[in-house]
Amino acid sequence: MKRFIVLFFTVLLLTLFVENVFSQVGARSKFTDPEKTEEIRKFIQQKLSESTQQPVTSLQVINIESQVVAGTNYYVTVEATFDQQQPSKKYTVKVFEPLPHAQTGGEKYKLMTVQEINN
């Protein structure tokens, strides 16, 4: 009887642990790594300057979420200033970081989408 009870609780705890771990894969979650956030911010600033053909003088990260896939998607809300004379613009940007073995071309990140947020 004791073996059954121990086995029962072991299986129950293992099931709860596995369910909790695997429920996070594919779900978005708040991202809190300040060093990687700064890397991503610099990457977005460079790519946004290239795509708009205007230098981004200031880029502030408002929100960042991550999603584990075959790599990591980062959903970033930023506020960009192109010229001090014009109001800043907000964007939602999706950045993909492939797994290390799948990175090609020397770039760690790939810009997937940029959408301007209309106020």
Q: Is 92 exposed, middle or buried (0-12, 13-18, 19+ CB in 10 A)?
A: middle
Cα distance between residue 109 and residue 48, in whole Å: 14
How many other CB atoms sit within 10 Å of the CB of residue 20?
9
| Element (DSSP H or E) covering residue 75 | strand 71-81
Q: What local confidence, expressed as pLDDT, does residue 13 receive?
A: 63
Per-residue tens of pLDDT for the chain, all 119 residues: 777 676 666 765 666 555 444 446 678 999 999 999 999 999 999 999 998 888 999 999 999 999 999 899 999 999 999 987 788 999 999 999 999 887 777 789 999 999 999 86
pTM of the complete model beyond 0.85: no
